[in-house]
Amino acid sequence: MEKKSLIKTILPLAVLFPSILSLGACGNGTESEYRAYDIEKDGDPTSLNAKVTFWHTMSQQGQHMLDDQIEAFNKIYPNIRIEHSAQGDYDGLRDKLVKAIPAGTTPTMAFCYPDHVAEYLSSGASEEMGQYSTDSVIGFDKDETETGGISDFIDEFWQEGQVYAEKGIYSLPYAKSTEVIYYNKTEFDKKGYTIPKTWDGLWNLCRQIKKDYSSVENLVPLGINSDANMYITFSEQMNIPFTSATGDHYLFDNDQAKALIKKLKDYYDEGLFVTEGTSENNNYTSNRFVKGASKNGSLMFIGSTGGTSYAWPGGGPSKAFEVAVAVPPSVDENKPAVITQGPSITFFKRSSLKEKYAAWLFYKWITNTDNSAEYALLTGYEPVRNSSYETDAYKDMLATPVDPDSDDKTMLFAAVAKTTVTMKKSYFSSPVFVGSSKAREAVGEIFPAVALNEKTIDEAFDEALKRCVF
């Protein structure tokens, strides 16, 4: 059966029953707004005239790339105006959107995480986007790989948009990240160190580093950038209850989790590692890493592939050391589990249908084969399309030789890509429900509070649970 275009369906209704659409049944659109896109005339969406507002968390570098992509997009769709703006970090963006929903000031589209979308859905604010992907005019077929269809998306990333209680697709993949371990290859080669596959092996390596570099003031062997990711990853690897999408959502207040925190504090007290939450001024541990084997430095850290550029200590004659990348350790090397994150995109219902159609066209553009590859090359994130890995640009990056005297960060992005390609079967994500983002934030504060002797273990868990439940 031929799929119907949403626009083809709505336009006749607008003619027959203009009062229905004037009430905003499909957003804030009116008959005149819909008629501005006369799909019945020639079926050509390039005639669409609309403004799309896009909230994201991109750095200036990412925004410059986006501006270039918008310029190319407007050569095809000259009447679609894309207004984009950075809204701080992911949690800051979520907080702004939560305030914008009741105020009726949401953008057309925005970066998101699944647990954030669950919160927007509870307010009825998120748009179901599967309808656009299957639209006969502007969608694509599930088997349409040649033109960038659904089957070209990495399946795990596309399926993430369907994890919600409501049936449908409420988030679309844009860029994905995971965690890797960055290490000082120069010093590792000097000492004959290798990155172990297990945490027990890594703690033993940290002890050896501590011994070998005892003369270096305040050198800490290992940094871990995200306290929340550390907690969640250990819970996954050790089968410790964390959260559930159904029933009692918050399961992390248990004896196994408390024993884990006790053991991690022991390692912290040994001086084996530091986290963002235990660092001075809550600095990312990559700040230590780029100092190298010197005062207040470190030799390795675990951090997001999306922050690869921050692992770069400099290049050329000023380059202090060579950086290498490895798969993070697991409790059991035969059962690896590595957290996956990275931004997706969601639409908001309050926008007119015309605006949401324009947003969909723009989404297709920024996630096409070449643009998805470009974003990955620029940031260290992973492409969301299988075809992006086959582009000449991405293949060239994967083939980039390591040159310790180069000032080109591409070689580090290449090292990350070569590592993450081998990790996909190990990816996991946490259950999604309204309030799941609160759980993540809460457990991320447990270890720092205990490690810095601000709270007992029981007090830290009690406080975390209260933040979620009350």
The number of domains in the chain is 2
Residue 61 is predicted with a pLDDT of 86
Question: What local confidence, expressed as pLDDT, does residue 424 receive?
Answer: 80
How far does Cα 116 stand from its chain's mean position?
12
Radius of gyration of the chain from Cα atoms? 24
Distance of CA 239 to the CA centre of its chain: 23
Q: Are residues 217 and 365 in the same domain?
A: no
Note the pLDDT of residue 274: 98
Residues 235 and 148 in one domain: no
pLDDT along the chain (470 residues), means of 10: 43 33 37 40 72 95 94 94 95 94 97 92 93 82 58 87 89 93 96 98 98 97 97 98 92 97 98 95 90 94 91 68 94 94 94 92 94 87 89 86 67 85 86 88 97 98 92
Verify that 309 and 350 share a domain, yes or no: no
Residue 400 lies in a domain: no
Q: What domain range is 420 assigned to?
A: 177-341+407-469
The confidence score (pLDDT) of residue 87 equals 95
In-domain check, residue 392? no
| CATH number of the domain encompassing residue 455 | 3.40.190.10
Q: Tell me, yes or no, whether 47 lies in a domain.
A: yes
Instruction: Write down how long the chain is.
Output: 470
Tokens of 289: 């890493």
Distance from C-alpha of 93 to C-alpha of 89, rounded to nearest angstrom: 6
Q: Do 222 and 192 sit in the same domain of this protein?
A: yes
d(CA 337, CA 331): 9
Q: Is residue 83 part of a domain?
A: yes
How far is 437 from 55, CA to CA, in rounded Å? 19
Is the residue at 251 inside a domain? yes
In this structure, are 109 and 254 located in the same domain?
A: no
Domain annotation covers residue 126: yes
DSSP per residue, 431-454: ---TTHHHHHHHHTTHHHHHHTTS
End-to-end CA distance of the chain: 50
Q: Let me know whether 197 and 284 are in one domain.
A: yes
- Please tell me whether residues 337 and 353 are part of one structural domain: no
Is there a contact between 345 and 110 (Cβ–Cβ < 8 Å)? yes
Q: What is the pTM of this model?
A: 0.81
